[in-house]
Each structure stands twice: as structure tokens, then as C-alpha cells.
Amino acid sequence: MTSLALAPPPALLGYRMDEEQKASWMREFTQVMPYAHPPALTCNDHDEDLPHPPSSKHVLQAHPVLPVVTRAGGLMAHASVMMPRRDTVHDMLATVNQAIKHMNKETLQPTCPPCPNGTRWWNNECSVAHTLTHTVTSPEEWKRTAHHLKYTVTKAKHEWAYKQLHEAEDARDIWRMASICKGRRSNIFPALRSTTGHLTHNPEEKATFLKQQFFLDEPRVVEEAQPSDPLPRPTRTWSQITMEEVTLALSTAKNSSAPGPSGVGYTMLKWIHQVRPDVLTDLYNNCLDASIHPWKEVTVVVINKLGKPDYSTPKAYQPISLLECMGKLLEKIVTKQFNCNIEEHSLLAMTQFGSRPQHNAVDVVSVLIHCVQATIAMGHVGALLLFDISGFFDNINPARAAHLLTLLGFPTTVCQWTLSFLTG
């Protein structure tokens, strides 16, 4: 983290993912993205709603507004079997992003930022009552119209809440209503106080205080090799990412997830993979082969924690990082392969419960109760030490992590990709 600046919330990026435009968007996308050879896809010639594979002229000629990048085996065609270079990955990503931007501009409508004062329960009766309070001239009439406005607003709130609760489709609607009781976050950013007690309203100084709270300026220097390192294991090989793996990862991705700086969400990625399953698959394989994670830009939103007594301290706030969905999808696929390797080769102790499949807090409590009961049965005195690591992920040493992965037998390209993911 090199810099942090406070700025007004930016206008929403991205486009409205209208299902009515899905077929035309996908059909045009197949014409824009260059093919190395005709894809092995089958379509019903009588189905006008589904995009068809491009003809040979579209295979040989790329779209005039997009650059052509080549790679073997799918999206791109490469002249040799050499490992892809980092600039090749960046060129492939630029080609995909330009195609997405071009198609969104041609077929979709841009999103509009919501009104900050907008409320879901506001109706026409509220608008009429609000207008009357600004048209009266005498104090008596203003008092009467103000009372009527308050009554109208209260009635509108009750009717809206009743409709939401009694017309809920599933349990998520009920829990969404329950979150209203937690209160509303304040949009006012008060003055911040530094660790020395200095209070400031200056946005640049506020950014400095938040940066000191959220990010570690000088990480602790740690040697890559340590005496407690595990014995090196034989290096294993990883299979290439398949189209089925990308499909499975997209099936569990929520369309409502906030996109990153580009505004490309999971819905758009699902459209791309449905019509061109080779695009994301080839891009992800090239990223691993070249040991690079190219999605480095994120949008960091600072929000206040609810229920804090003092909002002048930086500890009362937390950063929310909005990552690129395209990068998060690759992370999800790699994480699953990591977990499969860990379970298959028993790389972690059985007492490690966090971030592992088929392990949860109930297992931790069961092991703890067993140890307590065994200690009491043997007549011994036991002690329990609990601690919480603050900022664990931010304090990970990337070189040390890559070194440990190498010792555990992970491929060199994957270890270097992890190093690229944790740095930059």
C-alpha cells in the first residue's frame, strides 16, 4: 500500500445487466473476440435466442477496434510451446477488457447512481404532503400541513413494512428486514484523532491516520528459511484449469457481489463463459503458467463500525476492498486446488480447523471439551490460552509464504503466482 486518499464516493461504474439484452450481447461478443480456430460448440440452428459460433471470416479476421493476441489451444494461438510471458498475459487481459467495454457500450445501459435521499417507502401521497408544506403562507396552515406530512410518512412506512413482511418470498427477505433494526450508517465523516491526540478535519491527514491504522508501513523482516521449516517434499504437478472448473466456480458466485474498479460483475462473466468458455479458461491458465496475478487495482471503501462510542478514532472504521470479480474467480479456483492438495497429501495437522473443508467450529469445541474432560479425569491441572491475531493477512510475509509452499511440494509456477498475488 503506497498511498491512500479520501475522496467523495465515485459514480457507479458498470452497466445494467438486462436479461432481455443477454442474447444480443452474447451474439455480438462472439463476433468481437478473435478466435484461433472455430470452437467445438454446437448450437441449434433454429434457436434464434442463442448466439451461434462465428463463421470462418470471423475466425480469420479480428474486430477492427480490438488488438489480436495469440495463444495455443483456444482463445489465442501461439507459434511455440514456450511459457507465456507476463506481457502476453497483460495483452490477453486487455483484449478481453476491451471486448467487454465495447459490447457494454453497444448493447447495455449504464447504471445510474441512486439518490442519497431516496427511500423505498416514499410514495405519491408523501410527495403531495411534502409539497403542501412549502406552499402555505400562514403559520397555522404550515402547522396543519406539517402534522399531515408526519402522519402521511408514518402511514407510508407502516404500509411498506407490512407489504415487505407479508409478501416475502423466502427467508432472506425476512432477515433483510431485520437488519433495519441495526440502524443506518452515517454518511458524515467526522474529525479523526491521531494516536498523539491531534484532531483534524483535513482529508489528507484523515487518510494518513487511516493508512497507519489499516496498513503496515514497515513490515517485519523475516528470513525465508527457518529452523522449524518442514522437510521438503517432491514437487507435484498441477493439471491445467478446465472449462468445467470455471463453470463450477461461477455457479457458486453471487450476481449481487459488488464489482471492482472495472465494474465487471459475475453476471457478465457468466455470459462470457456461456458463449465463449475458452476465454476465461485460457486467461487463467496463462496467469498460472506465467506466475502472475494481473488484477492489482481495487476500490477500498472505508465504513464506520456500528455501535462505537467514539467515531473520532480510526479504530472505529474498517476498510472494505472491492476486488475485480475476474481475479476473485481465479482465486476461488486456485483455492480449491490448494485444499484438494492439502487433504490428499495431508499437508496440515488434523488440529488445523480454520479455512478447511469439512471442518467447522463444532469440531474445535468437541476437541476442546475432550481435552478438558481428559485432564479432569486424570486429576491434572490444565490451562487454556486464547489469543487473536490482529491483521493476520496484512502481516503475511509473501516471500516466506512462497518458500513454505515450495517445501510442501507445490509447483514453482504456483508458488510464484502466490507471491505475485500477495505483492504489488
Cα atoms found within 13 Å of the Cα of residue 122, Cβ hemisphere only: 8
Task: State the pLDDT confidence band at 58, using cuts at 50, 70 and 90.
Answer: very low
In the predicted structure, residue 344 carries a pLDDT above the cut 70: yes
CB atoms within 10 A of CB 253: 17
Q: Do residues 256 and 52 touch, judged by C-beta distance below 8 A?
A: no
Residue 271, C-alpha cell as written in the block: 455470459
pTM passes above 0.75: no
Task: Write the pLDDT tens digit of every residue in 298-315.
Answer: 888 888 888 888 888 888
Residue 182, C-alpha cell as written in the block: 441495526
Q: How far is CA 95 from CA 56, 89, 333, in A?
A: 20, 10, 22
The arithmetic mean of pLDDT across residues 229-250, rounded, is: 94
In the predicted structure, residue 83 carries a pLDDT above the cut 80: no
In the predicted structure, residue 6 carries a pLDDT above the cut 70: no
The arithmetic mean of pLDDT across residues 219-234, rounded, is: 87
Task: Write the pLDDT tens digit of every residue in 17-54.
Answer: 888 888 988 988 888 886 644 444 333 433 444 444 33
In the predicted structure, residue 356 carries a pLDDT above the cut 60: yes
Alpha carbon distance 255, 178 (integer Å): 22
What pairs with residue 15 in β-bridges?
Answer: 110
Task: State the pLDDT confidence band at 76, using cuts at 50, 70 and 90.
Answer: very low
pLDDT of residue 77: 37
In the predicted structure, residue 382 carries a pLDDT above the cut 80: yes
Phi, psi angle pair for 318, to nearest 5°? -140, 145
Task: Write the pLDDT tens digit of every residue in 120-145.
Answer: 788 889 888 988 888 888 888 889 99
Contact partners, residue 25, CB within 8 Å, separation at least 6: 103, 104, 107, 108, 271
Per the prediction, the chain carries an average pLDDT of 80
pLDDT of residue 66: 41
pLDDT of residue 352: 86
pLDDT of residue 349: 86
CB atoms within 10 A of CB 334: 21
Alpha carbon distance 231, 216 (integer Å): 31
DSSP symbols for 8-46: PPPPPPSB---GGGHHHHHHHHHHHSPPSS-------TT
